[in-house]
Amino acid sequence: MSFRSAHYTLDAMGIKRLTKQRKAVLEVVRHANNHPDAAWVYQRVRERVPSISLGTVYRTLDALVDDGYLLPLTHSGEATRYEANLDGHLHLVCSKCGEFVDISHPLPDLLSGVKERYPELDIHAVQVEYQGLCQGCRTRLQS
Amino acid sequence: MSFRSAHYTLDAMGIKRLTKQRKAVLEVVRHANNHPDAAWVYQRVRERVPSISLGTVYRTLDALVDDGYLLPLTHSGEATRYEANLDGHLHLVCSKCGEFVDISHPLPDLLSGVKERYPELDIHAVQVEYQGLCQGCRTRLQS
DNA sequence: GTGGTTGCAAAGGCTTTGCAGGCAC
DNA sequence: GTGCCTGCAAAGCCTTTGCAACCAC
């Protein structure tokens, strides 16, 4: 599932009017299994709605982030990518090519201890990011 | 300490020539206890070397990142900040104001399990980032 | 003297924004 | 009909880069 619940509804996303542009952006992001950036989404959406503008894509993605349906992934000097799979927040960021590789691994509870120690903060979530080399870059550097 | 070792030397940082510009950037970053971005470093360095350019600041910071003396912190739509304290990599990123708050808390071993499970990756490090509200924004939103 | 480094300014890339027209409701 | 949404284009911002002059070694 791309979204929080299997029963999400398009119009429950803080979006007032359900235009064909937004429908298309939502569908594209929902079915993306990579970590697309705005330009990638834009390209894909144009196959359906050729007249859509990049600005509209950005506005829609921003709305989805604000409402918690997408997680923005930022990396030094690169375009923001969007993560639609909110179930597990584990990534390897390749220090060579910048790719985000999904990692699925059970994590210990990282929240409650910190919450107890920092009661003055309002901690919502925790994100874990691994740094290293993806498989491609690793073998490329070894050969 | 800002750097890996108390005995680091300036000329051991992959920097060939130790100019006054680089000395100044290194000193400013070393003594910064916030998470400064390039513009902040630039301002501070100009107090010492008024003729320095922003480009030189960026180049020096990039070199420090490449050599592992600084960790870049990126956040959607904001300038890259630099972390000089490499001992613990824990932050809270405030979802309201974007501030990076340092958190010190012992972490369980998050590396070995994932390394075992993904032998095809070359994992160097792991970074943990908390998301929520900093103290200031929390009280501001409650009042 | 040599070649790494600087300052300057321009360019680059990503993202946001103002506005008039359009369309979902 | 109302007001949110769109497309367009320009602007904004952060960052990188080309180049001639400079200076640490």
Question: Among B108, B105, B125, which residue's Cα sits nearest to residue A107?
Answer: B108
pLDDT tens-digit series, residues B57-76: 999 999 988 888 888 998 88
A76–B80 C-beta distance less than 8 A = yes
Q: What is the pLDDT of residues A10-40, one digit of tens each?
A: 555 567 788 899 999 999 998 887 899 999 9
Instruction: Tell whether A124 lies on the interface with B, counting CB pairs under 8 A.
Output: yes
**Average of per-residue pLDDT across B74-90:** 83
Nucleotide nearest the Cα atom of A58 (by C1'): C15
Six-digit token pair at B128? 């943990």
**Distance separating alpha carbons of residues A42 and A36, to the nearest angstrom:** 10
pLDDT at position A7 is: 38
> What pLDDT was estimated at residue A14?
60
Model confidence, pTM: 0.83
User: Is A132 within 8 Å of chain B by CB?
Assistant: yes
Crossing angle, helix A38-46 and helix A54-66, to 10 degrees? 120
- B21-54: buried (b, 16+ CB within 10 Å) or exposed (e) per residue? bbebbbebbeebeebbbbebbbebbbeebeebee
Is B125 within 8 Å of A103 when comparing Cβ atoms? no
pLDDT of B97 higher than 90 = no
Which nucleotide lies at the shortest CA–C1' distance from B20?
D24
Q: What pLDDT is attached to residue B9?
A: 54
Interatomic separation, CA of residue B18 and C1' of nucleotide C3, rounded (Å):
14
| Full set of structural domains in chain B with CATH | 3-83 (1.10.10.10), 90-142 (3.30.1490.190)
Give residue-wise pLDDT tens across range A48-107. Answer: 999 999 999 999 999 988 888 888 998 888 899 998 877 666 889 887 788 888 898 888
Confidence (pLDDT) at A13: 58
Q: How is residue A98 annotated by DSSP?
A: -
Does any CB of chain B come closer than 8 Å to the CB of residue A74? yes
Chain segment B13-66, per-residue pLDDT in tens: 567 788 899 999 999 998 987 899 999 999 999 999 999 999 999 999 999 888
Question: In the predicted model, is pLDDT for residue B2 greater than 90?
Answer: no
Task: Of B12, B115, B128, give the one whose Cα is nearest residue B63.
Answer: B12
Contact A101 B121 (CB under 8 A): yes
CB-side exposure of A118: number of CA atoms within 13 Å? 24
Distance CA B50, CA A83 (A): 43
Provide the shortest C-alpha distance from residue B6 to chain A (in Å): 25
Cβ within 7 A of any strand C atom: A 11, 17-20, 37-39, 54-55, 58-59, 62, 78-80; B 15-17, 19, 21-22, 49, 51-56, 59-60, 76-77
Which residue from B103, B108, B118 is facing A114, i.e. has the nearest CB?
Answer: B103
Secondary structure class of A100 (helix, strand, coil): strand
